[in-house]
Amino acid sequence: MNLFHFLRQNQDQVLELTLEHLWLVGISTLLAVLIGVPLGILSARRPIWNKPVLGTANLIQTIPSLALFGFLLPIPWLGERADRIAILALTLYALLPVIRNTFTGIRGVDPAVVEAGRGMGMTDSQLLFQVELPLALSVIFSGVRIAVVVSVGLATIAAAIGAGGLGEFIFRGLAMVNNELILAGAIPAALLALAADFTLGWLEKRLRPL
């Protein structure tokens, strides 16, 4: 049980890297929600925006993560600190599930319900905040959940540019050809992803309108 021994001996560092990891994922998810939900609403409301918005988010998704970290490195303010780059990259990757699920969720609201609201004199914003968003909430939330789970995995790569997180152990282990060190990063990261998935899945169920 060498791995267990290692984790025990380095528990302070494991904890620190885990918190760093959570911070990278948390901030980037928050940003992705702040940007992605309005974009999803826009593309649901104005069909013209649908293709460019979802197309761009899709395109970002195809850039290999290591390459994206590299591309962002020379950008002035951003390149100064590795965690800024990591957060931006993770935000960009998290956008697609958030935008797509917001779009799908709002489009999925029963048209009869929206029309009844409009026919009774609700304004566009009353319809959005009192009807469409509440009814789309669990679908939007499941997009956020996907984004978080993917980000937890992706964030390990952020260690390649020195942004910290549990990837530190993995890259150090790779360099030293030390499997225990690799597992010391990989296992907590996997557990983190599972825990996030479980917690958010539970929340999602509670948000379901019926």
Angstrom CA distances, 113 to 73, 77, 116, 166, 196, stand at 48, 47, 5, 47, 33
Instruction: Please select the residue that binds another protein; options are 66, 116, 191, 203, rule is CB under 8 A.
Output: 116
Segment contacting another protein (CB under 8 A): 28-36, 127-135, 158-166, 177-185?
127-135
Instruction: Please select the residue that binds another protein; options are 9, 11, 123, 179, rule is CB under 8 A.
Output: 123
Q: CA–CA separation, 121 vs 12, rounded Å?
A: 59
Instruction: Please select the residue that binds another protein; options are 38, 79, 134, 201, rule is CB under 8 A.
Output: 134
Residue 153 binds another protein (CB under 8 A): no
- DSSP assignment of 35-102, as one string? HHHHHHHHHHH-HHHHHHHHHHHHHHHHS-HHHHHHHHTTSHHHHT-HHHHHHHHHHHHHHHHHHHHH
Residue 117 binds another protein (CB under 8 A): yes
Instruction: Please select the residue that binds another protein; options are 15, 59, 110, 194, rule is CB under 8 A.
Output: 110
Q: Which stretches of the chain bind another protein, using CB under 8 A?
A: 110, 112-113, 115-123, 126, 131, 134-135, 209-210
